[in-house]
């Protein structure tokens, strides 16, 4: 059984505004799709998120179930379920600390902010948005609250700056907001947005979906996570070379007491 996301929209007695209703579903869907690309970066069939149930709660309002659908012969139920769990667990993290959760990126953070703006915006009527992951049982409900929004914004705000580089894979290219950006999936840490206005368009495009080294001004949040990189250098990362015998010299510590390798291993197994 795959994990779905239940979206609860609590409104006033007058109902939830139609634009707020559709915007919340759109932004949650975009967030799920981006988390899927981040947590499963290899080329694969991407799940389509569909509305599989709608209800109306007299005490709150609309309840919508978004369920992923993908070819089970190509991706397991566990794999397809990852975005739903990551989204809800990430919101729980953001309710407590200004930290980019596992599987999140600056883009996902923006989606969360857009959901919160439907509550805070001029269109009155939507009061609370709550998400729950559903897989037989339901997870702990998490509200897209003011605290979540505040921590989300802080998580992608740079508080320290330093020149450095990251190694990872280029995943997303965007030219929105008059700035050219690439999404980098580092070998370690959360996805990073890179401004690449200083780099040639040809270099960026030919490096897409490849493992690269990107250098420039790194911006870190208060938790030490890299949230943005203003790139001025990009090159393909060298491939892994085979391990040679001489690379292993010194890898085994001094056995001591003139023990042979077989005696040493036998002693370790006996522990």
Q: Are residues 138 and 28 in the same domain?
A: yes
Show which of 155, 188, 205 is a domain's final residue: 155
CATH code of 187's domain: 2.40.50.140
The domain boundary, picked from 133, 155, 177, lies at 155
Same structural domain, 145 and 194:
no
Structural domain contains residue 252 = no
| Shared domain check, 172 and 65 | no
pLDDT digits (tens, 9 = 90+) for 201-241: 889 888 888 889 999 999 999 999 998 999 999 999 887 54
Residue 246: inside a domain: no
In whole angstroms, give the CA distance from residue 230 to residue 232. 7
Q: Are residues 91 and 107 in the same domain?
A: yes
Residue 243 lies in a domain: no
Q: Looking at the structure, tell me whether residues 50 and 114 fall in a common domain.
A: yes
Contact 91, 148 (CB under 8 A): yes
Q: What is the DSSP string of 116-166?
A: HHHHHSSSTTEEEEEEEEEESEE---EE--HHHHHHHHHHTS--EEEEEEE
* Residue 264: inside a domain: no
Do 164 and 151 fall into the same domain?
no
Query: What average pLDDT does range 117-126 have in this prediction?
Result: 81
Range of the domain at 195: 160-236
Same domain, 174 and 122: no
- CA trace torsion 78, 83, 86, 91 (10° rounding): -150
Give how many domains the chain has, as a whole number: 2
65 plus 106 within the same structural domain: yes
**54 is a domain residue:** yes
- The pLDDT, as a whole number, for residue 242 is 45
CB 43 within 8 A of CB 167: no
Residues 39 and 141 placed together within one structural domain of the fold: yes
How much is the pLDDT for 58?
Answer: 72
The predicted-structure confidence for 9-47, as pLDDT tens digits, reads as follows 988 877 888 999 999 999 999 999 999 988 887 776 788
- Please tell me the pTM assigned to this model: 0.80
The answer to whether residue 150 is domain-embedded is yes
**Are residues 84 and 115 both part of a single domain?**
yes
- Does 182 lie in the same domain as 135? no
The string of pLDDT tens digits covering residues 164-208 is: 999 998 877 665 555 678 888 898 888 898 999 899 988 988 888
Report the distance separating Cα 48 and Cα 57, nearest Å. Answer: 26
Question: Do residues 151 and 166 both lie within one domain?
Answer: no
- φ/ψ of 252, rounded to 5, equals -95, 125
Residue 268, in any domain of the structure: no
pLDDT in tens, 46-88: 889 999 999 987 777 899 999 998 777 778 888 899 999 999 9
């Amino acid at each position: 059984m795959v994990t779905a996301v239940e979206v609860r929209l609590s409104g006033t007695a007058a109902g939830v505004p139609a634009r707020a209703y559709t915007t919340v579903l759109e932004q949650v869907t975009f967030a799920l799709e981006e988390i899927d690309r981040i947590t499963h970066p290899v080329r694969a069939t991407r799940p389509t998120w569909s509305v599989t149930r709608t209800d109306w709660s007299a005490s709150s309002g609309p309840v919508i179930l978004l369920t992923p659908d993908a070819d089970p012969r190509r991706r397991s139920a566990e794999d397809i379920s990852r975005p739903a769990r990551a989204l809800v667990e990430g919101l729980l993290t953001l309710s407590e600390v200004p930290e980019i959760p596992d599987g999140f990126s600056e883009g996902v953070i923006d989606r969360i902010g857009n959901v919160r703006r439907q509550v805070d915006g001029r269109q009155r009527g939507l009061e609370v948005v709550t998400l729950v992951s559903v897989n037989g049982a339901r997870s702990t409900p998490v509200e897209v609250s003011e605290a979540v929004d505040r921590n989300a914004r802080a998580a992608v705000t740079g508080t320290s700056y330093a020149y450095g580089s990251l190694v990872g894979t280029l995943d997303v290219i965007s030219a929105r907001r008059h700035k050219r950006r690439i999404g980098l999936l580092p070998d370690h840490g959360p996805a990073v947005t890179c401004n690449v206005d200083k780099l040639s368009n040809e270099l960026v495009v030919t490096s897409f979906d490849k493992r690269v080294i990107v250098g420039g001004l790194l911006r870190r949040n208060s938790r030490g996570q890299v949230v943005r990189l203003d790139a001025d250098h990009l090159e393909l990362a060298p491939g892994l070379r085979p391990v040679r015998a001489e690379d292993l010299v010194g890898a085994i510590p001094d056995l001591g007491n003139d023990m042979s390798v077989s005696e040493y291993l036998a002693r370790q197994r006996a522990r």
